[in-house]
């Protein structure tokens, strides 16, 4: 059934000429050792291009955590205002998950926090944004932040950390976190973004099927 669903929607896409001069795609693998720092010591890594107007970041967390208090925290940096989007992912068995935003006016605000079963290692988490609809975040099984108005936000860099204090043991021991960035202006050709919409939808379906199977 899933294959039929994908085939039904994907076929028309490839019948179109998929061109969009604004389309930008980046894929970055962040190794485990990058997370074994505290926030004040984390370097900010610039991206090859600025992701603006409409963007999506897919998080594939394949890290092996080294202690129960360790975290893997991703921070997305805005190119102009200094605003931040923070997504934190804790270790098993709780898999805590939180989302925070930082704005010049409001400061640091946690907009979502789940201390148990907050994210799912078997699926990918997705951060998406449009200048019209705001910020939406999917934890791999469901949407936990919906159309949050954060104003204009264009990603030009990111940073990661995992330790609370400098004397803490390593947060993670091995593995990596893979970040896939995609952005552009859908107005220039919406079909160029269609495969990513399908990927996001399929990711949600996989998450629901996984949860259903686990509960049964």
Mean pLDDT computed over 62-66? 98
Lowest mean pLDDT among 3-7, 48-52, 58-62, 104-108: 3-7
Percent above pLDDT 70 for the chain: 78
pLDDT of residue 22: 78
Say if residue 7's pLDDT is above 70: no
Domain spans, the chain: 28-187
The CATH code for residues 28-187 is 2.60.120.200
93 prior amide bond cis, ω within 30: yes
pTM of the model: 0.81
């Amino acid at each position: 059934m899933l294959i039929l669903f994908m085939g039904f929607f994907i076929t028309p896409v490839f019948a179109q000429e998929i061109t969009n001069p604004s389309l930008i795609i980046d894929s970055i693998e962040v190794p485990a050792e990058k997370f074994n720092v505290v926030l004040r010591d984390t370097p900010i890594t610039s991206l090859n291009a600025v992701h603006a107007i409409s963007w999506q970041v897919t998080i594939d967390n394949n890290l092996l955590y080294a202690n129960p208090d360790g975290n893997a925290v991703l921070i997305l940096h805005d190119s102009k205002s200094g605003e931040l989007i923070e997504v934190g992912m804790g270790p098993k068995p709780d898999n805590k998950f939180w989302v925070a935003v930082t704005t010049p006016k409001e400061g640091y605000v946690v907009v979502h926090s789940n201390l148990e079963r907050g994210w799912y290692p078997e699926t990918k988490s997705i951060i998406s944004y449009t200048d019209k609809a705001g910020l939406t975040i999917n934890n791999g099984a469901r949407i936990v932040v919906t159309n949050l108005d954060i104003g204009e936000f264009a990603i030009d860099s990111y940073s990661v950390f995992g330790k609370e204090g400098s004397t803490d043991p390593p947060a993670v021991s091995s593995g990596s976190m893979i970040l896939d960035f995609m952005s552009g202006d859908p107005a220039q050709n919406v079909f160029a973004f269609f495969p990513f919409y399908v990927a996001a939808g399929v990711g949600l379906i996989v998450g629901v099927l996984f949860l259903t199977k686990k509960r049964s």
